[in-house]
Amino acid sequence: MAILAAGPRRRRRTHPAQVVVLGFAGAILVGTALLMLPIARADGVATDFFDALFTATSAVCVTGLTVVDTATHWSGFGLAVILVLIQLGGLGIMIFASMIGLLVARKFSVRARLTAVAESGALSQQDVKGLVRGIVGLSLLIEAVVMVFLLARFLLGYGYAPGEALWHALFHAVSAFNNAGFALYTDNLIPFAADPFICLPIAAAVILGGLGFPVLMQLRKEFRRPLHWSMNTRIMLWGTVVLLTAGTAYITVLEWNNDDTFGSYPPAARVLMGFFQSVQTRTAGFNSVDVGQMHDETWLGMDVLMFIGGGPAGTAGGIKVTTFAVLFFILWTEMRGEAAVNVFGKRLSRAVHRQAITVVLIALAAVMLGTITLMIMTGRGLDETLFETISAFATVGLSTGITADLPPGGDVVLVLLMFLGRLGPLTLGSALALRERRILYELPKERPAIG
């Protein structure tokens, strides 16, 4: 009776970040179990646990790093499992990121909610089902359009049988839009390096997936009214153009005379290859050249592009273009001696300053710790190890060729980096936004010496 009098126990509230982490972990474990089945392997032999775990993590986190040859190791069943994991991983990130926008908006007053909804672009507080349908529908539409282009090229340009052409077109369209980088060829997309009818549709899908769902929805509704675009949309569009242009010029110039990469191709093909690799370095992971043969200087520039990544609420990884832009505008404001950070005619919230700095510092710590650990385990140099670590954390999937040769401990490090890189910035950002609390007192100010 005393127990009854105490009343019902309170249910412990689950933070949204915990839900998404558990969801992705569950998907990885299920995917690992399926890929370990003998039917998932081409030769009918069960795949090793670490290889299956690595592949499932890479697929769910839409990274693209591999420890086995995707084209020859997996059977049709295994490839189908990978494709489903890629689709679930990509859509799951977009849906969760958009739902976080709803949760954040509900914390404020009615006026603040309306402002937050308008600023986020297409995040409705009422029609949640419509929101999810919009994400799924838009994703499938883009994938279908890209698939049609690839299907026509495989049929007419390479003489594939209809069934084979359809499968290759579907797999690469889904892999591209979700920024996964998995390909059905042993040497990835190197056979199509100079083919714009393959490279450009895939690049377009990667760019659209990397922009983020809120940007795509706002462009669909208000494409002809740029004055109505939110700060997020403007930052993403300008940032994408600047990074793609700079990346294309940087990679093309440095690799122009490298006979192991661009040097043996005609000039027009070299420009196409430079653009394609610039796009893929922004977290997609397809490669049309042997990345391991690139110059060290090219790797360093690609490290920066991979670390920045794509847009929030999309399929790309990295710290996100918006985070990088916020830091840039803070730096620009400090250099000009101004008090407030103004971006495209609006003032940036000081809370965003702190969140951006927090995300970047934690990301840098993860990359440095992972790099040092891999260097100790493998005895390899800094350049290739740093490249591999950033590629895993930013869920890019590009590799200098050392991933398949790593010891099991190294595989575990990359698995953790992929998982942290895919969920870390997103869940950390949401946690910071959702746990703001008021402090009813202020301490006296004091300034330490800087610089």
Spell out the domain ranges in the chain: 16-221+230-433
Least confident of 1-5, 70-74, 163-167, 229-233: 1-5
Buried b (16+ CB within 10 A) or exposed e, 117-138: bebbbbbbeeeeeebeebbeeb
Higher-confidence residue of 119 and 30: namely: 30
Inter-CA distances, 64 with 5, 203, 240, 321, 394, Å:
56, 15, 21, 21, 11
Using the predicted structure, report yes or no on whether residue 158 has a pLDDT greater than 80: yes
Q: How high is the pLDDT of residue 252?
A: 97
252-283 residue pLDDT tens: 999 999 999 999 999 999 999 999 999 999 88
346-372 residue pLDDT tens: 888 888 888 888 889 989 999 999 999
Q: How high is the pLDDT of residue 186?
A: 93
pLDDT category, 338, cuts 50, 70, 90? confident
Higher-confidence residue of 256 and 98: namely: 256
Q: Is 210 exposed, middle or buried (CB count within 10 Å of its CB: 0-12, 13-18, 19+)?
A: buried
Least confident of 107-111, 425-429, 432-436: 107-111
Mean predicted confidence (pLDDT) in 162-183? 95
Using the predicted structure, report yes or no on whether residue 201 has a pLDDT greater than 90: yes
Higher-confidence residue of 137 and 44: namely: 44
Using the predicted structure, report yes or no on whether residue 100 has a pLDDT greater than 60: no
Using the predicted structure, report yes or no on whether residue 230 has a pLDDT greater than 80: yes
Do residues 284 and 179 touch, judged by C-beta distance below 8 A? yes
Q: How high is the pLDDT of residue 112?
A: 37
- What are the residues facing 355 on neighbouring strands? none
Buried b (16+ CB within 10 A) or exposed e, 267-287: eebbbbbbbbbbbbbbbbbbb
CA 26 – CA 43 distance, rounded (Å): 27
| Single-letter residue type at 197 | F
Q: Is 353 exposed, middle or buried (CB count within 10 Å of its CB: 0-12, 13-18, 19+)?
A: middle
pLDDT category, 110, cuts 50, 70, 90? very low
Do residues 120 and 217 touch, judged by C-beta distance below 8 A? no
